[in-house]
Chain A
Amino acid sequence: MTTTTNPDLASESAAPVRGQRWLVSLRALLRNPAHTAGLIIFILFLLIAIFGPMLAPYGVNEQIVEDARQAPSAAHWFGTDRLGRDVFSRVLLGARDIFSLAGLGTLVAVLVGTSLGLLSGYRGGLFDELLMRFFDSLLSLPALLLALLLLGTLGPSRQSVLLVIIVVYIPIVARVVRSVVLSVKTRGYIEAARVQGESSARILFREILPAVLPALAVEAALRFSYAIFLASSLGFLGVGVQPPSPDWGLMVKEARDNVSQTPWALWFPAGAISILVIAVNLLADGLKTLFRVED
């Protein structure tokens, strides 16, 4: 007899109802200081992305000739770059770039990838085979190379980078989702749902999707952090977002020439990338807790 009773939970008199479940899990996430830090930093960066333009003391391309190449000071917290632009303002404004590229790209990739993964995993058959073979061949090239290839076609621009992130990550997300679907699909409750006359659509989105969410949330967070790297690597290689936009990777690239003169113009955007990525990784760890339902 495999024991299944969980007296600890079963006898819990105040069983949280659905809405509260999130609060409960959020509390679980907040109990871990590292995850909390990740969440806070992430939210902070998100706020910067939203309100950056209001907070930035200088314009994104505003040049102060006489202040060019100044070390950090009260007037310029992060110093100025070779064109006399305020690095602090540019880092703040760059947050929006990252979120609108890596963030939006990840989001779309996750949405599309999830739908494809759900469908492919649940349907199986030829559709699944063909899609997976196609994804195989997409994935048999390293992401950066695929990105470069696509960027060569599309020309370097913000939209292209966005599209590249989406195209590169859809297969990955789809595969993760598909593998979860494959394991969930054979669970008793899915069969039970079929016996209860549920439609395929409802089974996919109401019965299977929630089980996919924990893995998906973690995957999405990791994808986001990789997307940050991908976008900034493309910026760094000069084929991504183009100057004069305050993309962090591009800022690092541009400041690299001047690293002996204006090291701050390199370290601050590099630091911003690092901190955001670390925060997202911590958050990814935490999300496992957030979406987990005791079963």
Chain B
Amino acid sequence: MARYILRRLAFLALTLVLTSLLIFVITQLLPGDVCRVILGREVGEAASQACRAELRLDDPALVRYGDWLSGFLRGDMGLSYSTDAEIGPLVAERLGNSLMLAGFTLAIAVPLATGLGALAALNEGKWLDNLISVFSLAVVGLPEFVTGIVLIELLAFRVGLPANSSIRPGTGFFEALPSLILPALTATLVLLAYIARLTRAGVLEELKQPYVRTAALKGLPRWVVILRHVLRNALAPTITVVAISFGWLISGLVVIENVFNYPGLGRLMVFAISRRDLPLLQGVAMVTVLAFALANLGADLLYAALNPRIRVGE
């Protein structure tokens, strides 16, 4: 087990290096001189030169990548090109926010979606199943930017939830909670149908398994059969999906973060891209990859815990 985790972490390191290399290569191709972008169109050549010198942009690409990598390995993510701020704390701050939103979203989405999915499966073919199907289908078609607009119109302007989720640095979860509701709800709607449909399929599949019959023929009440036997097995695949969604929730919520002005990682990454802010971009990307990989590892461990057939490491 420990060996398995070590092995996964080794892989993670490999992925980090590969991803950072990938990003580095891509950013080398980004058009627009970093210094022009940073300093604006009005500055003269001299200022631009000074800026390039300061950022050591004229060094060979490989040297710069090496510098960045060695800094990163020492835990120093460097300074942001555009804002001159230290990247470590900046990214940590945003990661905190993103984790808060992701956690809250999952806390809503997972019970809701699995509940709906299980309910649909247990009522297969009946009106409740159809209702849930129609609902999740309708939700499937809603792009997050549309959902966001609708939710603002309905829940912000009419009900009074904050339309804007911008929270001050260091805001605690409970203080931030009202601001989290709308973005979390929007993200939930994106995940809902997917997870619910998966759960439904999983439960239906498990219900067909002979062990369900064994359990029922022991004379166990139906709810015991469902809760103790079926759900546990049916939810295993859902975990993987939740882990994948986690990566998306951490830094893929660009649209949602824009619509609600939530200070998450996604927005920061877009900022970094538009500013050609390579170190910042790398910082955000590394944190994303890390969070994503750890979520996957966690999911795999959980999966293995729920599903002893899977021997960890195979």
Whole-angstrom CA separation of A137 from B18 in the bound complex? 6
Q: Is the CB of A137 within 8 A of B251?
A: no
Partner of A236 from the list B15, B31, B255 (CB cut-off 8 Å) is: B255
Given A148-B270, A236-B145, residue A140 in contact with residue B254 (CB < 8 A) = no
Question: Among the listed stretches A56-64, A78-86, A269-277, which one makes contact with chain B, having 4 or more residues with CB under 8 Å of it?
Answer: A269-277
User: Contact string, B217-230, partner A, CB cutoff 8 A, digits 1/0?
Assistant: 00000000000000
Question: Among the listed stretches A15-23, A87-95, A149-157, which one makes contact with chain B, having 4 or more residues with CB under 8 Å of it?
Answer: A149-157
Q: How far is the CB of A85 from chain B (nearest CB, A)?
A: 20
Whole-angstrom CA separation of A233 from B15 in the bound complex? 27
A253 to chain B: which residues have CB within 8 Å? 145
B104 within 8 A of A: no
Q: How far is the CB of A270 from chain B (nearest CB, A)?
A: 5
User: Contact string, A146-178, partner B, CB cutoff 8 A, digits 1/0?
Assistant: 001110110100000000000000000000000
B233 to chain A: which residues have CB within 8 Å? none
Q: Is the CB of A273 within 8 A of B141?
A: yes
Q: How far is the CB of A275 from chain B (nearest CB, A)?
A: 7
Given A145-B288, A155-B31, A278-B141, residue A150 in contact with residue B26 (CB < 8 A) = yes
Q: Is the CB of B269 within 8 A of A233?
A: no
A133 within 8 A of B: yes
Whole-angstrom CA separation of A145 from B14 in the bound complex? 20
Whole-angstrom CA separation of A232 from B137 in the bound complex? 19
B138 to chain A: which residues have CB within 8 Å? 274, 278
B293 to chain A: which residues have CB within 8 Å? 140
Q: How far is the CB of A170 from chain B (nearest CB, A)?
A: 14
Whole-angstrom CA separation of A249 from B146 in the bound complex? 10
Partner of A273 from the list B27, B29, B143, B288 (CB cut-off 8 Å) is: B143
Whole-angstrom CA separation of A1 from B258 in the bound complex? 61
List CB contacts (< 8 Å) of B137-185 with chain A: 137-138, 140-146, 149
For chain A, the count of residues having a C-beta within 8 Å of the partner chain is 38
List CB contacts (< 8 Å) of B2-31 with chain A: 14-15, 18-19, 22-23, 26-27, 29-31
Chain A residue with minimal CB distance to B140?
A: A281
Q: How far is the CB of B253 from chain A (nearest CB, A)?
A: 8
B298 within 8 A of A: no
Whole-angstrom CA separation of A231 from B154 in the bound complex? 26
Q: How far is the CB of A274 from chain B (nearest CB, A)?
A: 3
B72 within 8 A of A: no
Q: Is the CB of B141 within 8 A of A274?
A: yes
B251 to chain A: which residues have CB within 8 Å? 141-142, 145
Given A148-B269, A259-B149, residue A153 in contact with residue B144 (CB < 8 A) = no
Q: How far is the CB of A277 from chain B (nearest CB, A)?
A: 4
Whole-angstrom CA separation of A225 from B292 in the bound complex? 24
Chain B residue with minimal CB distance to A282?
A: B137
Q: Is the CB of A148 within 8 A of B143?
A: no
List CB contacts (< 8 Å) of A233-268 with chain B: 233, 236-237, 249, 252-253, 256, 259, 266
Whole-angstrom CA separation of A225 from B143 in the bound complex? 10
6 contacts between A and B (CB under 8 A): A140-B293, A142-B247, A142-B248, A142-B288, A237-B258, A282-B137
